[in-house]
Amino acid sequence: MERSSFQPPLSGIRVLELGSSVSGPFAGRLLADLGAEVLKVEPLEGEQLRTWGMQAPDGSSWWFKSHNRGKKLLAFDLHEPRAVETVKAITRRCDVLLENFRPGRLAEWGLGYEALAADHPGLIYVSISGYGQDGPYSGRPGYGNVAESMGGLRYVTGFPDRPPVRMGISVGDQVSALYAVIGTLAALQARERDGMGDFVDVGLVESCFSLTEAALPEYNAAGIVCARSGNRFLRAAPSNVYETRDGRWMAIGGNGQGIFRRLCEAMGHSELAGDARFSNNAARVANAAELDAIIEAWTKTQESDALNDLLAKAGVPAGPVMSVADIARDPHFRARGMIASIRDERGQEIATPGIVPKFRHHAAHLTTAAGAVDRDTDAVLRELGLALEARR
């Protein structure tokens, strides 16, 4: 898709990010991707994500460089009153403040919502915390792994005869960031209508719980407690991953009447669509183990690439279980701009996922990778007309 001549969707919006680790900075990254000017404030020594995972040549992690792309990097010691006053002055020039401290921490430094909104009523103050700003657990520290556990995700993740497992990425942190961005966009729209800012309160635990699909209504209606079921989808079938002849795994979703019929025809077993065990979704769910065994007996006779092509031509949703190496060389990911590259101020190239979603008219585009601590503090203070000597 050609880059549009229109400004990115959030061009003209300035965000002050007081966050660290995953959730707050991921929300800031998403806003920066959409064209907002994001001013990220770190402690003078840099935030902790700089030390997580494999390090780039300049000593910051590759994760940090990608995770904080497109931002201007500022550094202040928020324990120092003079620095706090400078941050307050910056906030007065911002549309959004985004933070993921424990509830009450910023208020202790004079940077709580009430203090800042008193002279900036249009401020949108977005807080991400473990349990939200109120309720009996609100004062507790909370991380994504705890939120995934308490929010019900890990209870249903894994196999029934094994312990709960994490999902391989920081799902709780990142889904809370998505809700933070949704709240930010909604509050910006509301401010356009009535001129008033707002406080947006996002809890990691409830963000995870909101993803649990039918768990609550089914429990309330029938006392069903969803539990770990491996790769099988308990509410529709067939939907699983199946081994192929070359030792790969193919995800197949045949859980629709027409789709299941096409899958049976692709397998050369059209009679299965009329079999009483598999004739409708309820029957297929009841006999899912038997049906999965039939499907995998067939997929084990197929090479994965040929099988993928066959199912695509048959109109059956399917795709291989892909590693990051597979994704990095995949033509579709490349055609969609999802295998992207950015550079930091040293010219170091950093691979990074592309922008989601895509826009036809107000297109967004990637700019720079995150770089050195304190890289942009002086330039931002000059731009905002603030005294450089007040920065510490």
Domains of the chain: 14-211+332-390 (3.40.50.10540), 249-320 (3.30.1540.10)
For residue 322, count other CB atoms closer than 10 A to its CB.
14
Secondary structure of 341-373 as H, E, C letters: EEECCCCCEEEEECCCCCCCCCCCCCCECCCCC
Query: According to the model, what pLDDT value does residue 1 have?
Result: 46
Distance, CA of 336 to chain centre? 18
pTM: 0.94
CA distances from 76 to 59, 97, 158, 162, 372 (A): 20, 16, 43, 46, 14
Phi/psi region, residue 59 (left: phi>0; alpha: psi -120 to 50; beta: rest), is: left
Which ranges of 2-143 does DSSP label H, i.e. alpha helix?
A: 23-33, 62-67, 81-91, 105-108, 113-117
Tell the burial category of 65 from Cβ atoms under 10 Å away from its Cβ (0-12, 13-18, 19+): buried
Tokens 């007081």 correspond to: 18
pLDDT tens by residue, 187-205: 999 999 999 999 999 999 9
Tokens 């590259």 correspond to: 341
Query: According to the model, what pLDDT value does residue 388 have?
Result: 73
CA distance 127 to 101: 8
Single out the residue of 207, 189, 209, 205 nearest to residue 197, CA to CA: 189
pLDDT tens by residue, 299-321: 999 999 999 999 999 999 999 99
Q: Which residues are catalytic?
A: 173
Which residues of the chain have a pLDDT value below 70? Answer: 1-4, 389-392
Query: According to the model, what pLDDT value does residue 391 have?
Result: 54
DSSP for 67-80, please give it: HTTTEEEEE--TTS
Q: Two tokens at 22?
A: 């995953």
Query: According to the model, what pLDDT value does residue 2 have?
Result: 53
CA distances from 70 to 141, 156, 235, 316, 376 (A): 29, 36, 41, 39, 12
Single out the residue of 148, 153, 151 nearest to residue 228, CA to CA: 153
